[in-house]
């Protein structure tokens, strides 16, 4: 029997309507368009407005976009995974609600969280389920409503993040397309540098924590930046070497969109032409688990069967890594 690999067979995406531009941010915190653009490459990001709308709203829209574009019968989906750092609620799974709302009535569903590497690590989980031969259609959704955990008083953080989601369908492939190799790592020493201290099981929210806003995300930007540059580039280089890929053989770098300078540094390390680097950070900022699938959704029309894609991500934890995947269809 030929080897089964996990191939991507459809993608979808969704970003909310409200556009938070650098100009609007200038009226909220002490910043300016020139600083944000030159330090991060971001011009605007999307924010989900509306009462009771959480991450599942974004996930459902992205999944529906995939389902409609591909005439997919949702009852044929076996598993729905929502990769997110901002679940709707504690205890209740965002994925279970999402699966029901999209009509995936024969699926089981669960959430995974590895901060900005959630979608990347999710790809690894999906690959193992598909390779087992047990599951045939798995929907992996990367979705985050980052605006729910950001202080719009903190100029060092609020300028980076946005809300958004992307959905990707994986199916078994026996022609050699799909996930080929992965290099994934974590280092808990990093949690001091990117975290929300209160609101989890270690530290309950108190009157003082509310005043100090420590239930919002805090980041030591410089330290995160340095670690992201080193580790994303290092993981990418390792994947290339291990698979005997030089930059001529790579068609696309699909890198987490946190800061354009981090993405450029990764591309430079492997001397990749900027035309092969997927980039949409200027429109959406950092959507955490949404960045990789939103890139695929935006670039789908340019992807060709057999293209070699290198995924790379870095995020809180720290968690990071790189995945090599060959694209399985012409859109
Ligand atoms: O997905 C993973 C999550 N996060 C990341 O990957 C973030 C990684 N880090 C970064 O992207 C960058 O560190 C930032 C964009 C957050 C900050 O850029 P930076 O070039 O590292 O700036 P900095 O923190 O070194 O600050 C430089 C200066 C400081 O002023 P002084 O002390 O030199 O006078 C900051 O106070 O820029 C100031 N600054 C700002 N100025 C205008 C910080 N934020 C802003 C701002 N507007 N929004």
Q: Of ligand 1's atoms, which has the minimum distance to the CA of residue 156?
A: 44
CA of 170 to the centre of ligand 1 (A): 37
Q: Of ligand 1's atoms, which has the minimum distance to the CA of residue 224?
A: 8
Q: Of ligand 1's atoms, which has the minimum distance to the CA of residue 261?
A: 11
What number of CA atoms fall less than 13 Å from residue 20's CA on the CB side? 27
Residue bearing tokens 């971001």: 42
Closest by alpha carbon to 93, among 50, 59, 52? 59
Strands of the 308-315 sheet, one edge to the other: 178-186, 319-326, 308-315, 252-255
Closest by alpha carbon to 145, among 247, 244, 18? 18
Cis peptide bond upstream of 318, omega within 30:
yes
Q: Of ligand 1's atoms, which has the minimum distance to the CA of residue 157?
A: 16
Which pLDDT value is given to residue 1?
Answer: 60
- All domains of the chain, ordered by start, with CATH? 5-177 (3.40.47.10), 179-326 (3.40.47.10)
Which pLDDT value is given to residue 2?
Answer: 85
The torsion of the CA quartet 118, 301, 269, 140, rounded to 10 degrees, works out to: 10
E strand intervals along 84-150: 108-112, 138-145
CA of 225 to the centre of ligand 1 (A): 9
Which pLDDT value is given to residue 141?
Answer: 99
Catalytic residue among 256, 259, 280, 319: 256
Q: What's the helix, strand, coil split of the chain in %, to 5?
A: 40, 25, 35
293 contacts: CB under 8 Å, gap ≥ 6: 11, 13, 62, 119, 140, 141, 142, 165, 166, 167, 168
- Spatial separation of the C-alpha atoms in residues 70 and 61, rounded to whole Å: 14
CA of 156 to the centre of ligand 1 (A): 5
pLDDT tens digit at each of 331 positions of the chain? 689 999 999 999 999 999 999 999 999 999 999 999 999 999 999 999 999 999 999 999 999 999 999 999 999 999 999 999 999 999 999 999 999 999 999 999 999 999 999 999 999 999 999 999 999 999 999 999 999 999 999 999 999 999 999 999 999 999 999 999 999 999 999 999 999 999 999 999 999 999 999 999 999 999 999 999 999 999 999 999 999 999 999 999 999 999 999 999 999 999 999 999 999 999 999 999 999 999 999 999 999 999 999 999 999 999 999 999 999 999 8
* Beta strands 252-255 and 308-315, pairing class: parallel
- Spatial separation of the C-alpha atoms in residues 291 and 262, rounded to whole Å: 14
Ligand 1 pocket, CB under 6 A: 31, 35, 39-40, 116, 155-156, 159-160, 194, 219, 221-222, 224-225, 228, 258-259, 286, 315
In the annotation, is 70 catalytic? Answer: no
If one residue of 36, 150, 225 were mutated to test the ligand 1 pocket, choosing by the most ligand atoms within 8 A of its CB, it would be 225
Among protein residues, the one whose CA lies closest to atom 23 of ligand 1: 222
Which pLDDT value is given to residue 10?
Answer: 98
In the annotation, is 286 catalytic? Answer: yes
Which pLDDT value is given to residue 331?
Answer: 84
In the annotation, is 22 catalytic? Answer: no
CA distances from 165 to 4, 46, 62, 175, 265 (A): 28, 11, 6, 29, 25
Are 86 and 286 spatial neighbours (Cβ–Cβ below 8 Å)?
no
Q: How many helices and strands, by DSSP H and E, does the chain display? A: 11, 13
CA of 171 to the centre of ligand 1 (A): 41
Closest by alpha carbon to 170, among 127, 118, 108, 107? 127
């Amino acid at each position: 029997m030929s080897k089964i690999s996990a191939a991507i067979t459809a993608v979808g995406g969704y970003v909310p309507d409200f556009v938070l531009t650098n100009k609007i941010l200038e009226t909220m915190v002490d910043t300016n368009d020139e600083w944000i653009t030159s330090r991060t490459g971001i011009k605007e990001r999307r924010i989900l407005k509306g009462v009771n709308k959480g991450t599942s709203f974004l996930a459902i829209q992205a999944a529906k976009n995939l389902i409609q574009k591909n005439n997919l019968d949702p009852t044929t989906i076996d598993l729905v995974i929502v990769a997110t750092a901002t679940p709707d609620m504690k205890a209740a799974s965002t994925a279970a609600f999402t699966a029901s709302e999209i009509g995936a009535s024969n699926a089981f569903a669960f959430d995974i969280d590895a901060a900005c590497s959630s979608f990347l690590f999710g790809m690894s989980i999906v690959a193992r389920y598909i390779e087992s031969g047990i599951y045939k259609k798995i929907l992996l959704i990367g979705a985050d409503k980052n605006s729910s955990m950001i202080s719009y008083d903190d100029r060092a953080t609020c300028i980076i993040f946005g809300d958004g989601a992307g959905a990707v369908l994986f199916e078994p492939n026996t022609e050699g397309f799909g996930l080929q190799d992965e290099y994934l790592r974590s280092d808990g020493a990093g949690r001091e540098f990117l975290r929300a201290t209160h609101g989890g099981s270690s530290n309950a929210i108190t009157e003082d924590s509310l005043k100090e806003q420590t239930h919002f995300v805090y980041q030591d930007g410089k330290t995160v930046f340095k670690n992201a540059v080193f580790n994303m580039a290092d993981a990418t280089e390792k994947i290339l070497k291990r698979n005997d890929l030089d930059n001529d053989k790579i068609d696309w770098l699909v890198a987490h969109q946190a800061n354009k300078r981090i993405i450029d540094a990764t591309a430079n390390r492997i001397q990749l032409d900027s035309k092969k680097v997927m980039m949409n950070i200027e429109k959406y900022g950092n959507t955490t688990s949404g960045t990789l699938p939103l890139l695929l959704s935006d670039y789908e029309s340019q992807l060709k069967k057999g293209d070699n894609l290198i995924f790379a991500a870095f995020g809180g934890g720290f968690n990071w890594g790189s995945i090599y995947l060959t694209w399985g269809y012409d859109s």
